[in-house]
Amino acid sequence: MKRVLFFFVLGVTLCGLWACHQTKIPFFKPVKPVYEKLSNGFEIFFAEDHELPLVQLQIFIRGGSVYDPKGKEGLTEVAMQLLRLGGSKNYRPHEIENQLEYVGASLEMGADEESEVVSLSILKKDLDLGLKLLFDLLQNPTFDSDQFQTIIRRRREALKREKEDPLTWANREYSPFVYGAESLWGRRSTIETIDRITLEDVRDFHRRLIQPQLMVMAAAGDLSEEKLSLKIQTELSQWTLGSLKAGETVLTTIPPLHADETPATQVLSQKGLSQSTIMVGHLTTKRTNPDKFALQVMNFILGGSGALTSRLGEEIRSSSGKAYSVWSEYGFGPEAGIFRAVAQTSLENTEWVLNRMKAQIEKITTDPKFSRDELDRAKQALLRSLIFRYERRFDQVRELARFHIWGYPDNYFEILQKGIQKVGLSDIERVAREYLHPDHLKVLMVTDETTENRFKK
């Protein structure tokens, strides 16, 4: 749903640019949040927002699932769910839920590869309660054993259900296929790894990784920076730097990524599927690479818009009508991200769509013939999309906090927009040749059993 909405917004943007694509887009100027670092290392980015009597905040905790112990992949996710649902020293699990429901607040905890995430949305008048519940859960969890067993059971059930959606299944399997199963970036949880996780593992996770010096909070709301700072300091007054065992570090060094550039095909089959989901791609580059802006523009033209007017969309969906959807993504990471072109098509058109996806990727590297019209529309759509993505002040502050964690400079929004504006035809031609690798493609398909053997190599 999020992907569909994103492509819809970009599509509307593109349509609005057909008649005036050479009009210069004004710079998107984000709010300038106040920054504060407390004595225990806890960092705060805050902007006042008096439009509604509401406060929203998100805490990023440096870490993430990349640090899961080998053989216990999924620990970070399970641990964050138990911190949220397992109760605290001062509140039983049901008491927390009742109080949040009574004031209409939302408190969520989760994780991605690079961080744990805690989110709170609450009315200003109830902020003291929300902060008290949040920080009591983080500092004084009780690790309720019944909740732990419930979380493990639900996670096992969720993993079983993932195969019910071919796109979800393909997305889950593509990272280990491209990064390599032994890479920390390519690992993912399975029923077997979830079953190995113990309550003691969660306690150890909390002791090592839920520490204030690893936390960066983004917040926006209907109060002054002084009041928010005072409230946060009150809740954190007893939370000092975490204690570690002798020789133990908070975050271990991640081994360098060793890319396997050998082309390969992986076919996942399931009886009764009426369509195929195809992913074609390879590893990319660091998020700090100065060519990233040209790569974003190039990918938008190839298929990043998700529109019928992209290169992939025009040939595979618009002209031939042989795919239900087709798009491309060019991601970045600390060491490398993933480029992938994705299509969903009928079983009988699977081979044709796969071949045309490969051909378009190769063509854009050897004979792209990018037009000024394509370039201008892509740049302006990307710049205009920032307005939609960061319409709310909280969204802006949250992204600035994320940039901070990634080591970006404070003016990165300006750098981003200037970088896109400066991209020229020669830039996208160069990066297409340099960063797209038709001879290194990893092809993953989710399809019906009857078509599986045609693609296995």
Q: Report the DSSP beta bridge partners of residue 265.
A: 443
pLDDT at 453 over 80: no
CATH of domain 260-452: 3.30.830.10
50: amino acid identity, one letter: H
pLDDT tier at 1, thresholds 50, 70, 90: very low
Question: Which of the four pLDDT bands, split at 50, 70 and 90, describes residue 309?
Answer: confident
Q: Where are the domains of the chain?
A: 34-236, 260-452
Neighbours of 226 (CB within 10 A): 9
pLDDT above 90 covers a percentage of the chain that reads 83
The mean per-residue pLDDT over the stretch 358-371 comes to: 96
Rounded average pLDDT over 193-217: 96
- pLDDT confidence band for 32 (50 / 70 / 90): very high
| Percent residues over pLDDT 70 in the chain | 92
The CATH T-level fold of domain 34-236 is: Cytochrome Bc1 Complex; Chain A, domain 1 (3.30.830)
DSSP 201-248: HHHHHHHHH--GGGEEEEEEESS-HHHHHHHHHHHHTT--PPP--TT-
pLDDT tens-place string over residues 380-437? 999 999 999 999 999 999 999 999 999 999 999 999 999 999 999 999 999 999 999 9
Q: What is the pLDDT of residue 451?
A: 79
pLDDT at residue number 312: 97
Q: CA–CA separation, 57 vs 122, rounded Å? A: 9
pLDDT in tens, 221-279: 999 999 999 999 999 988 876 655 545 567 878 888 888 889 999 999 998 899 999 99
| Range in 53-57, 214-218, 384-388 the model is least confident about | 384-388
Give the pair of three-digit tokens for residue 167. Answer: 């796109």
pLDDT at 64: 96
